[in-house]
Structure 1
Amino acid sequence: MREFLPNIDTEKLKRAFQIKEAYDRGELTLAQAQAQLQLQVKSLQPYEVALIEQELKPEVEDECRKEDIQAMITLFDGVLVRERPDLPSEHPLSCYYRENDKIHEILGKIQDLVQYPAIKNQWLALYEPLSAWRKHLQRKQNQLYPLLERKGFTRPTTTMWTLDDFVRQEIESAYKLLLSAAETSVDGNMSLLTAENEEKFISLQADIVADVLDLMQKEETVLYPTALALITPAEFELMRRGDQEIGFANITVNPPVAAAETTTATPAAAGTSADFSNFAADLAALVGKYYPQPQAGCELEVSNGRMTLEQINLLFRHMPVDFCYVDENEIVKFYNDTAKRVFPRSLNVIGRNVKNCHPRKSVHIVEEIIAKFRSGEQEQAEFWINKPDIFIYILYTAVRDKTGKFRGILEMMQDCTHIRSLQGSRTLLTWEKEAAPANNAAAAVPMDTAGSVGQAAAVPPEKVQKIVPEEINAETMLKDLLAADKNLKSYLFTLSFKFRALDTPLARIMLPKAKVSDMSERSGIPLNELLAKLRAYFADRQK
């Protein structure tokens, strides 16, 4: 880690660590510790605190949850640099800060609301954006942590991930309680939580507010400034593209300009990290000289046949299941970029140790699977997620060569919700987008009226409301738009790749409550622009 950081004074870091340890043991008062820090340390950058944790502080179980970040800030007051970096609004770190600013507002409103009777709709208005903050945590775990690991800063993956998941689960538990049974007030206008649920729900709020604030403070005090010191501008630019795949919480972020649209960049100073693109091109040319890539259209020998590289990639992209391959060294080497992906992934997972791709509490399961596959004791391990609206099947298979030598693990995930719903037999050809013949009792109901992935739930014809283009607004429900025009989803795909989420299993959960404002936020398309496009689309369709 230290080789990526400037001007590290090892002796200064040791002194800072020793003073903090003495203070924690009660050997120094706060005033004495602060005086020694001012005299012997003078100044600490956030990345120096991170380096102390990485190199000098032994790791303990659940340490990120136990660490009192406010006490550390108090101890290092006047020594630790705590300025928020001045970054463009679309910079990955700026997006994290912006999301936290939104959550700070939500937490303030929660603290105000707990003193009043628990009206469900008021709390939903706060918990929907608070629950959306999981996107923030997903990007950290799948985008930021892998880059920091490559720089030798592994502490976030091994310690902060546990805190991330703990906070997320706290929010989810309270949100589920909020969505549970409620009763209507005497005047019939307000949905109140039942007395039992209200007591449980309100009792959770103080801990949730404290834990979310604690996590955000740890992010902003050490994690983000350290990431800025370790990660190059070119790496942040690549990170932006993966961030778009996963999504953002309560903010709008414009997608990065496609490579073909990028104008000529300002030449970077020789030897700087911004010269990454030239280095990559030179490296590709060097590799190509000694290990030439197949020419376009050149067929490759595969197990049973011959295919071009383009055909192989097309095949993987159109697979109706997710594949991920981890090699014998436990490194993630490949995943297929299918549009029907079950869970979000990004390119930063490639080259990452598979153990770092899982929360710490489940790493022992990963280790057990690898050990039993490697020894030959087991060949497969299966899991499934069974919820009312979704059924996900997950299968891990040991990969072996012809000699039986262990060569890695193939992970397969599939949304089997539709498959499990099938009944009887289908022996006649029936297209998804055509109504099944009325007299064909054996034919299954067409997917677009059976609640298939990405489609609105079936709506009886008499209940489908005609869409008045001029009345489409930020509060218009996505499910109503999809129910009114079955071709809308294909049109949305042309507006933004982010709408591919409509073809994932999780869309079934998202659709009932998604509004046009949510569509704007998740796609990055400005609300006014999206409204104009939707109004124009429906106006054109009704001509």
Structure 2
Amino acid sequence: MSEIINNSRTRIEKIKDLLRDINNGNDTEESKQKLGELMGSVPHGEVVAAEQELIAEGFPEEEIIKYCDLHSTALRGFIDEEEKLVIPEGHPVDTFKKENLLVNRRIEKLRMIESSLKSLKDEDASLQLVEVRNILIELTDIDKHYYRKENLLFPFLEKYHITGPPKVMWAKDDEVRGFLKYSIQSISDVEKISTSEMLLLFETIIGASIKAIEEMIYKEEKILFPMSMDTLTENDWYEIFEQSDESGYCLFYPEVKWKPINLNIPEDKNHEPTNRIKLSTGSFTREELESFFKTLPVDITFVDKEDKVRFFSEGPDRIFGRNKAIIGRQVQFCHPPSSVHIVEKILNDFKSNKESTAKFWINFRGKFVHIAYYAMRNEEGEYLGTLEVTQNINEFKSLDGERRILQYE
């Protein structure tokens, strides 16, 4: 490229112009070369900024998704190759990268099997065909890798107003999930597949799965991870680390427990207004919490460990009547004498830790009603009370098949 690009703003605009041209059909080798040469001279942050601005200007996200792989192919060998991330062992990015390494090893094994199948007869290839299926099933573990990325890393990027690239990447993650699903379905009866049929699958759906996974690994390693390391604080990364276990890992479990040296997490790490009711997984204003319970399609009643009614929800279509006079009342007095013995048994079984749930379903005034009782316990297993959840399930009895298309009632 002959012109000298002197500043960040000019470089970003040039990237946007080239990406628009490619998207409009001008995807010639010359255009790709220009894009590649330009990418070789810019930081990854400017690539991300260009993509982000295109989306903000109304450029359809689905169009960016369409040329996403072309974009990353043009970037190969150019983006910050001299920049090597130094990542401590056990850091979330270290875990992501180790997972990618293990995924790549499975892909290498698939390529080796594909190569060997070309010289094998059907009767000699049965073990290799079964191994292909097993490796593809193993690769579905990548969903945990993507889940952590989408639900732990992306929220922190969004906190810093980086929203475009995560949206595009999430869509590409879903493509990988779909390719793997259909690849496994295509060889579910692997014993009946011939060598030539398997090779055809490698050329089509299995090959598409491999390519999509490799492209995603490249995007993560060359764009997402460097950008995230530049953007997130040590406190951010530690929050991601703390929440990662419950989401699971791909193909291995990290043994090293990472903790930043200068950890400084404020008491109110989410910087929420003081008028919000704070819980361990989020917060509400009082108005939001009241509306939350009124909107739930179930009726809820809470009885504390002393058998006193402490709360009930006020939905528009309550099944069993409640009024505020029952607050503080012994729950046994809220039931007719004929059913008190059942209430007592449930409470006693919950308190003794003999049982934790009790469920009933009845016909009541034209409704088919499901009633469930749940023992509430703290982290030490101590009984806190009982939750009653009641729901009219008439509409569920007639459901059949699936509804995946938006349809309002």
TM-score (norm 2): 0.55
Which of 31, 41, 45 aligns to 1:47? It is: 45
Change (3 A) 1:159 1:37: closer
Write out aligned runs for 1:132-151 (5 A). Answer: 132-151=141-160
When residues 14 and 257 of structure 1 are mapped into structure 2, their CA distance, relative to the original with a 3 A threshold, is closer
Give me the whole-angstrom Cα distance separating, in 2, the residues matched to 1:255 and 1:85. Answer: 19
Shift of the alpha carbon at 1:17? 2.2
Cα contact 2:138–2:251 (8 A) shared by 1:
yes
- CA separation of 1:291 and 1:68: change in aligned 2, threshold 3 A: closer
Please say if 1:227 is aligned against 2:238: no
- For residue 169 of structure 2, the aligned residue among 160, 166, 176 is 160
Query: Residue 213 of structure 1 corresponds to which residue in structure 2?
Result: 214
Q: Which residue of 2 aligns with 1:240?
A: 241
| Structure 2 unaligned spans of 5+ | 1-5, 299-312, 317-341, 355-378, 380-409
CA positional deviation for 1:159: 2.4
Partner of 2:327: none
Give the TM-score, by structure 1 length. 0.43
8 Å contact from structure 2 (residues 90, 258) kept in 1: no
Counterpart of 2:101, as a letter, is D
Q: CA deviation at 1:14?
A: 1.0
Task: Using the TM superposition, give the Cα deviation of residue 162 of structure 1 relative to its aligned residue in structure 2, in angstroms.
Answer: 2.0
- Counterpart contact for 2:99–2:251, Cα < 8 Å: yes
Distance change in 2, residues 1:328/1:143 (3 Å): farther
Which piece of structure 1 moves more, 100-109 or 29-38? Answer: 29-38
Aligned amino acid, residue 212 of structure 1: I
Which residue in the other structure is 2:108 paired with? 108
Match of 2:98 in 1: 98
1:49 aligned partner, one-letter code: V
Aligned-partner residue type, residue 138 of structure 2: P
Deviations 1:156-205 (A, max 9, x none): 44322222122113213333555x456xxxxxxxxx24569x66966531
1:118 and 1:16, CA in 2 relative to 1: closer, same or farther beyond 3 A?
same
What SS class does the counterpart of residue 249 from structure 1 fall into? coil
Counterparts of 1:177 and 1:433 in 2: how far apart (Å)?
Answer: 47
Whole-angstrom CA distance in 2 between matches of 1:226 and 1:206: 29
CA separation of 1:48 and 1:291: change in aligned 2, threshold 3 A: closer
Determine the C-alpha separation between the residues in 2 that align with 1:24 and 1:73.
14
Equivalent residues of 2:182, 2:205 under 8 A apart = no
CA RMSD of aligned residues (A): 5.0
User: Identity across aligned pairs (percent)?
Assistant: 18
Aligned match of 1:522: none
Which segments of 5 or more consecutive residues in structure 1 lack a partner in the other structure? 1-6, 183-191, 266-273, 294-301, 303-308, 317-322, 334-372, 383-396, 401-424, 435-492, 494-543
Deviation, 1:398, is 10
Query: Highest CA radius of gyration, 1 or 2?
Result: 2
On the 8 A contact 1:129/1:249 being kept in 2, the answer is no
Corresponding residue of 2:403: none
For 1:151, the aligned partner's letter is: Y
In structure 2, what is the Cα distance between the partners aligned to 1:128 and 1:36? Answer: 37
Moved more, 204-213 or 132-141: 204-213
Q: CA deviation at 1:150?
A: 0.6
Given that residues 23 and 63 in structure 2 are in contact (C-alpha distance below 8 angstroms), is that contact kept between their aligned partners in structure 1? no
Q: Check conservation: 2:176, 2:209, Cα contact below 8 A.
A: yes
* 8 Å Cα contact 1:44/1:80 also seen in 2: yes
Q: Distance in 2 between matches of 1:95 and 1:101?
A: 10
Deviation, structure 1 residue 52? 0.5
Query: Residue deviations 1:182-234, cap 9 Å, x none?
Result: 6xxxxxxxxx24569x6696653112112212222222232222111111122
Q: Summarize the alignment of residues 78-89 of structure 1 with structure 2, pairs less than 5 Å apart.
A: 79-82=78-81, 83-89=83-89
Residue equivalent to 2:255: 254
Cα deviation for residue 155 of structure 1 reads 1.8
Output the amino acid matched with 1:209: I
The alpha-carbon distance between structure 1 residues 328 and 25, as it changes in their structure 2 partners (threshold 3 A), is: farther
1:145 touches 1:156 (CA, 8 Å); kept in 2? no
Q: How does 1:114-129 map to 2 (within 5 A)?
A: 114=114, 115=117, 117-119=125-127, 121-129=130-138
Cα 1:204–1:87, aligned 2, differ >3 Å: closer, same or farther? same
Give the letter aligned to residue 45 of structure 1.
Answer: P
- Provide Cα deviations, 1:240-291, integer angstroms capped at 9, x if missing partner: 1111221211133125368xxx9xx4xxxxxxxx6744xx26x78x99xx97
C-alpha distance 78-168 of structure 1, shift in aligned 2 (>3 A): closer
| 1:18 CA displacement | 2.1
Letter of the structure 2 residue corresponding to residue 150 of structure 1: K
Alignment CA distance shift 1:173-1:32 (3 Å): closer
- Distance (Å, rounded) in 1 between the aligned partners of 2:228 and 2:24: 30
Give the Cα separation in 2 of the matches to 1:220 and 1:27. Answer: 28
Structure 1 residue 67, shift from structure 2 partner: 2.0
- 1:174 aligned residue: 183
